Amino acid sequence: MAAQKIALITGGGSGVGRATALALAKAGWSLVLAGRRQEQLDAVAKEAAPAEVLAVRTDVGDDASVQNLFAKVKERFGRLDLLFNNAGTFGRNALLEELTYDDWKNVVDANLNGVFLCTREAFRLMKDQDPQGGRIINNGSISAHVPRPNSIAYTATKHAVTGITRSTSLDGRKYNIACGQIDIGNAATEMTAKMSGGVPQADGSIKPEPKMDAAHVADTIVHMASLPLDANVQFVTVMATKMPFIGRG
């Protein structure tokens, strides 16, 4: 019988996180779902049945909350095979000069500090478990490459996630920890719902943008997670084919 595989998904209550949780459950993984809203986590846990699921209300930008999450993972499962750093927010849409420090900090806490805190705790668990090692997948974005208008906080954090991915990949070698990044473009989720009605473009116009099913992102993550630890998808982009990325600007 194959050994139980444990995956932790932050932002697991909706969107890409939910789609990934259901895909991993279908592939035979046990799940830990982390997010701010317990009722949404519990709903996904029911959808993922009969997979074993632990749902933990967590603020990934808070050190104590993240440490509590990983303590529960260790207590329940004793190990972790996959961390999907997915939680994040676009933040308030505002002109750069009107963005407040609180606006900036809220995005940095969710998108950047959360990735660091979860990665650090995953390292602590994965380096000491037997067999040693595991995999970390970071949710980047098309914005890890090019910005949208009025998105300085989101764009800065997503560029920084790429740096975290590279450092994690390097520093994880000695512990058999693999790290890769998935850059997602216009997956159909709550975050992209407004795109059908039109969103700002670099030339100042407002235009609708095509979207793709979030299941395609989830299927890619399942593939990345299924590889042996001596193989790694370092970076991959999954996007709506006709979205304005290639040629943007």
Task: Give the residue numbers annotated as catalytic, written as ranges.
Answer: 154
Reported as type and span, the H/E element at residue 21 is helix 15-26
Alpha-carbon gap, residue 243 to 216, rounded angstroms: 15
Instruction: Answer yes or no: are the C-beta atoms of 100 and 33 closer than 8 Å.
Output: no
Closest residue by Cα to residue 86 from 18, 28, 154, 29: 18
Closest residue by Cα to residue 90 from 141, 136, 41, 40: 141
Q: What is the DSSP string of 56-102?
A: EE--TT-HHHHHHHHHHHHHHHS--SEEEE----------GGG--HH
Residue with tokens 């670099």: 202
Backbone dihedral angles phi then psi of residue 63, each to the nearest 5 degrees: -60, -50
